[in-house]
Structure 1
Amino acid sequence: MKAVHDNAPKEVNNWKVYSLAMIACMAAVMIGYDSAFIGTSISLKSFKDEFGLNTSTSAFLSANIVSTYQAGCFFGALSGYPMGYFLGRRWGLFVAAMVFNVGAVLQVVSSEKTGLGIMYAGRAIVGWGVGVASNLTPVYVAEISPPAIRGRLMGLYEAGWQVGAVVGFWINYGINRTIPYGNTQWRISFAVQLIPSGLLGIGCILLLESPRWLASKDRNGLAIKNLATIRGLDAEHPYLLAEMADIQNSLERDRAVTGAGFTGPIKALFQSKAYMRRLGIAVMLFACQNGTGINAINYYSPTIFKSIGVTGTNTSLFTTGIFGIIKFLGAIVWLLFLVDRFGRRAMLFVGSIGGAISMYYLGAYIAIAKPQLHPSTKLSPGGISAMFFFYLWTVFYSPSWNGTPWVYGAEIFPTYIRAATQSFVAASNWLFAFLIARFTPQMFQKMGYGVYLFFASLMILSIAYVYLFVRETAGVPLERMNELFSPELKPWQAHGIVMSRHNAAQEASNSENASVVQQEKTADEDDIKQRSDHVEYV
């Protein structure tokens, strides 16, 4: 698939829209760090000793600490819709950041004396903040993005997630090597949560509210003002007026179907088979994403590396950090070179095929070599090959399944129901992540190498799913998504047909505008000539 181009003025792809997207995506840094640091934090001896995780129930308690966060994320994602509807994208993100800070403080002050109760509460509260942010951030970025770079700007969300994850994966390696044993060790990693959430809260003061949300509240004057600022164009520019007209026309069509009010979009979603089919596609993408095994690795990376044959706390933390760096680099490559050039479908196909091969190799190696029965401080040649295939899996996963479901779920619904659908889409991600986080320790205890074969097989099944149901969205304007998902168009053909129609319509519009300009120019020339002739006559 070739890179997507449109006839937009070059001014619309400006530093302002990138800056606004980056501020909003500080939420992703917050999410990425919180998702990554906990797995290595609960593996620290100081944390285990503080909360009694060195007993036979340690796997159960660790799963509770991790999954409580996921449960909070699930309910936060559902809360994102009323937050976004009543407060808007900007102030909804601000509230999410402030609530997150409360939960982070509770975790830092928990101790052996308070027990795990406050820790569980803090994890659930930060999870709520993360859930709201995971809902509103993709919606906001999608709504302010020009179509040609929407994938790239949405990719900033994924890049921010990976920046936070890299810090989260590495921080406990540094702490374990430099900070003496004691509760200061684990408290530092928990306190760092306050940095990205604090920056998000401050950044929200600088954000411009989404013009699409303002238009949905009939605040059209401010909507035009904000859109002009974001696009870097004059408020009277034909492109900006055409985009604003598209937004208003789309809202009018949606309101005619759904009615106004808070419950209208929800009713419209559940009463429309077309929207429910779209929601099902987006939800299943997150099921497929979790089926790659990513959250098992994110939250229990020391367990994963131990199964391959990696021993020792520092070694395990170091290999986890390398995993985080590869994920980050993969996300950057996806953002800069792949997402808007090759589209969504192609990257998902490649990610599934390469990831499945890598997982099958890991399962086969563990089944044959049984490294857990031969612990060693040095990896064998077979262990080195297993590490290579694990990192190869990361290379395939990062630029494909890592960010694409988030981009897809944020861009395929009409504006009027987008906040509602994003609540369900984001909640589905956290629900699947909760199931993985809650049962991964038990899966490794019962299934052993079968865990890798299980995830590899799910990735093979995802190939058929993407081919049969997922439609390419790269470069398609948000206002043409209904056309893209028309039942008359096959999923593997829809993109080419819709983009051909869109480009033809733009060319016709440009020709019409050029004709009008030429007519006005001719009229002006005639007027000047008449005035000149009159002067000569006089």
Structure 2
Amino acid sequence: MSILKLVEDRPTPKSVYNWRVYLLAAVASCTSCMIGYDSAFIGTTLALDSFKSEFHFSSMSTTAQNLLSANIVSCYQAGAFFGAFFGYPLGHFWGRKIALLISAVVFILGAGLMLGANGDRGLGLIYAGRVLAGLGVGAGSNITPIYISELSPPAIRGRLVGVYELGWQVGGLVGFWINYGVDSTMAPSHKQWLIPFAVQLIPAGLLLFGGVFLRESPRWLFSKERREEAVRNLCWIRQLDENDIYIIEEIGAIDQALEEQRSTIGLGFWKPFKAAYSNNKVMYRLFLGSMLFFWQNGSGINAINYYSPTVFKSIGVTGTNTSLFTTGIFGVVKTVVTFVWLLYLIDRVGRRNLLLIGALGGSVCLWIVGAYIKVAQPALHPKAHMDSGGIAAMFFFYLWTVFYTPTWNGTPWVLNSEMFDPNMRSLAQACAAASNWLWNFLVSRFTPQMFSTMGYGVYFFFASLMLCSIVFVYFLVPETKGLPLESMDQLFEIKPVHRAHSQMLAKLREEEERFRHDIEESGLAASKAGAVQVEHASAEASKFA
């Protein structure tokens, strides 16, 4: 099986898998670069001696330092929570493209505010800037997966939405290493800690610049009855003529889905809200989407992302520079395995199996790391160099990264971008993104206090949650890989859940064969009718002669 083997729901022209669809996904995923960079750089920047010195950390108690760090980190997530909901009206009324560009502008304004902070002015500008930047990335985290999923061919939809996750990891990789770089090459100064804050502007600027290449989502245009523009964009993205049978089938599926929505949910701004309260099936999927992010944050990933120096110190890593280097290696591991997830796992292994494997393997690793800390107590017995037990603990920590990153890191975003019909998708994605930022906020807000009071119990806590997520996924989450977005309603009606994907795929293939047979029959009938007409005309001509 080739690493790029495609599992298609129907025969697909090779031109559909072209550079344009990847370019659009890459430009839109600059949003996730902004998110990934922040999640990685902020914790290590707060650990820099230059930052601590300028804002007088030495005059504070440990409890006060933990509270200050938690507030700086978590106000960003608080802004992102509200930004996720703000993205819904933007995407509904103005379209996916304009919403993405607005989110970039808001983020740039917030990042610019942070650059004005210093010891004399205090942290007020950093707080305000992080809230504003959070609003921008919250809206972007809502819109980007929707936009990518709406323009993706089913066979590579997971891979393309995975580009969003890849952008997250690339941003994180830079964020994890930026502070190691400034700490190693620059003397402590105002500029030393300001540079990591300034780098935030780069991915947002790339998104604004890349906006000239973006095309509006055809599905959104169809929903707004801008049919001519929608067909034109769809043909451009697919590199096919509008008379190609693949385009005809795709437009037919979109029209059918929209017509079904008109007769059930409706296409207005408030219709999805009414459907969410009145339709148990919609509420059920909203519950699934939101809970996926609860379990994602329950793995402990954001505790590690935002407070990686604290995490490595608990294992026995000493020294600021060594801690930053170890954090950088963590970022490298995440990025490398994300490529494997993107190119092979997400559309080959599937969403459901990845979540199950990642939860089981990750849980085992955290139990081992927690057990080492309980027995060895490295915080009470610091050593200049890690012993064999500490090295083993670090190995299992990185092994946890290998299990977590290609499974729970990006897969919930892929699932949430897929499992709702087009009219519900914006609201549903807003709820899912808001759920992510809510749990993200809680974890980032209380992680310093958890490590202070629970110690090794933090690892046991997250390991237990990962085990619980296995039960949730196995019984409640169906596989969605390779299925058209318009088929998700039917997929979630099939029970038991673990057989839903195979049954739905078989049904789609039957419908495809029937559709093509009908076209062939109609063509044959037209051919026969034409032959009869020619024969009749010849007979009449003979009589006249």
Equivalence for 1:489: 495
> 2:198 matched to 1:194?
no
Task: Give aligned-pair identity as a percent.
Answer: 53
Equivalence for 2:403: 396
Give how far 1:373 is off: 1.1
Equivalence for 2:44: 40
Aligned-partner SS, 1:373: coil
- In 2, the alpha carbon distance for the partners of 1:197 and 1:188 equals 16
Equivalence for 1:507: 513
Please, which of 297, 317, 322 is the counterpart of residue 304 of structure 2? 297
* Counterpart code for 1:412: M
TM-score (norm 2): 0.95
Equivalence for 1:306: 313
**Contact 2:261–2:267 under 8 Å retained in 1:** no
**Contact 1:156–1:335 under 8 Å retained in 2:** yes
Give how far 1:378 is off: 1.1
TM-score (norm 1): 0.96
1:403-442 CA-to-partner distances (Å, cap 9, x unmatched) read: 0000001110010111011111000000000000000000
**Contact 1:3–1:342 under 8 Å retained in 2:** no
**Contact 1:52–1:58 under 8 Å retained in 2:** no
Give how far 1:504 is off: 0.8
- In 1, the alpha carbon distance for the partners of 2:166 and 2:12 equals 26
1:262-315 CA-to-partner distances (Å, cap 9, x unmatched) read: 211221122211000001011111000001000000000000000000000111
- In 2, the alpha carbon distance for the partners of 1:156 and 1:141 equals 9
Query: Structure 2 vs 1, CA of residues 398 and 532 (structure 1 numbering), >3 Å: closer, same or farther?
Result: farther
User: Gaps (5+ residues) in structure 1?
Assistant: none
> 2:135 matched to 1:122?
no
Give how far 1:525 is off: 7.3
- In 1, the alpha carbon distance for the partners of 2:139 and 2:492 equals 27
**Contact 1:47–1:186 under 8 Å retained in 2:** yes
- In 1, the alpha carbon distance for the partners of 2:535 and 2:36 equals 67
- In 2, the alpha carbon distance for the partners of 1:495 and 1:337 equals 19
Equivalence for 2:7: 4
* Counterpart code for 2:310: T
Aligned-partner SS, 1:374: coil
* Counterpart code for 1:362: V
- In 1, the alpha carbon distance for the partners of 2:314 and 2:541 equals 95
**Contact 1:71–1:127 under 8 Å retained in 2:** yes
- In 2, the alpha carbon distance for the partners of 1:122 and 1:456 equals 34
> 2:54 matched to 1:50?
yes
Please, which of 430, 443, 452 is the counterpart of residue 436 of structure 1? 443
Q: Tell me whether 241-250 or 410-419 shows the greater mean CA deviation.
A: 241-250
Query: Structure 2 vs 1, CA of residues 11 and 523 (structure 1 numbering), >3 Å: closer, same or farther?
Result: farther
**Contact 1:345–1:472 under 8 Å retained in 2:** yes
* Counterpart code for 1:231: R
Structure 1 residues 74-89: aligned runs within 5 Å: 74-89=81-96
- Give the root-mean-square deviation of aligned CA atoms: 2.0
Structure 1 residues 59-74: aligned runs within 5 Å: 59-74=66-81
- In 2, the alpha carbon distance for the partners of 1:387 and 1:529 equals 84
Structure 1 residues 301-340: aligned runs within 5 Å: 301-340=308-347
Give how far 1:496 is off: 1.1
**Contact 1:270–1:276 under 8 Å retained in 2:** yes
Aligned-partner SS, 2:347: coil
> 2:186 matched to 1:169?
no
Equivalence for 1:27: 31
**Contact 2:267–2:423 under 8 Å retained in 1:** no
- In 2, the alpha carbon distance for the partners of 1:535 and 1:20 equals 60
- In 2, the alpha carbon distance for the partners of 1:170 and 1:428 equals 29
Give how far 1:170 is off: 0.5
**Contact 1:360–1:452 under 8 Å retained in 2:** yes
1:211-245 CA-to-partner distances (Å, cap 9, x unmatched) read: 11111111111111111111111012222122112
> 2:377 matched to 1:370?
yes
Q: Tell me whether 400-409 or 237-246 shows the greater mean CA deviation.
A: 237-246
- In 1, the alpha carbon distance for the partners of 2:74 and 2:294 equals 17
- In 2, the alpha carbon distance for the partners of 1:515 and 1:45 equals 76
Please, which of 240, 245, 270 is the counterpart of residue 238 of structure 1? 245
- In 1, the alpha carbon distance for the partners of 2:268 and 2:39 equals 35
- In 1, the alpha carbon distance for the partners of 2:523 and 2:68 equals 71
**Contact 1:485–1:494 under 8 Å retained in 2:** yes
* Counterpart code for 1:43: A
Structure 1 residues 68-467: aligned runs within 5 Å: 68-467=75-474
Give how far 1:9 is off: 2.0
**Contact 2:6–2:156 under 8 Å retained in 1:** no
* Counterpart code for 1:346: N
Size of the aligned set, in residue pairs, is: 537
Query: Structure 2 vs 1, CA of residues 162 and 534 (structure 1 numbering), >3 Å: closer, same or farther?
Result: farther
* Counterpart code for 1:507: E
* Counterpart code for 1:29: C
* Counterpart code for 1:27: T
- In 2, the alpha carbon distance for the partners of 1:53 and 1:15 equals 50
- In 1, the alpha carbon distance for the partners of 2:90 and 2:390 equals 49
Q: Tell me whether 23-32 or 306-315 shows the greater mean CA deviation.
A: 23-32
1:26-76 CA-to-partner distances (Å, cap 9, x unmatched) read: 111111111111011111011111222332111110000000001011000
Query: Structure 2 vs 1, CA of residues 141 and 315 (structure 1 numbering), >3 Å: closer, same or farther?
Result: same
- In 2, the alpha carbon distance for the partners of 1:314 and 1:522 equals 81
* Counterpart code for 2:124: G
Give how far 1:520 is off: 4.9
- In 1, the alpha carbon distance for the partners of 2:177 and 2:48 equals 13
Give how far 1:533 is off: 11
1:111-149 CA-to-partner distances (Å, cap 9, x unmatched) read: 112111111000101111010000000000010001111
- In 2, the alpha carbon distance for the partners of 1:14 and 1:522 equals 39
* Counterpart code for 2:99: G
1:153-181 CA-to-partner distances (Å, cap 9, x unmatched) read: 11101111100000000110011011221
- In 2, the alpha carbon distance for the partners of 1:71 and 1:374 equals 37
- In 1, the alpha carbon distance for the partners of 2:314 and 2:101 equals 41
* Counterpart code for 1:109: G
Aligned-partner SS, 1:475: coil
Query: Structure 2 vs 1, CA of residues 48 and 475 (structure 1 numbering), >3 Å: closer, same or farther?
Result: same
User: Gaps (5+ residues) in structure 2?
Assistant: none
Q: Tell me whether 1-10 or 251-260 shows the greater mean CA deviation.
A: 1-10
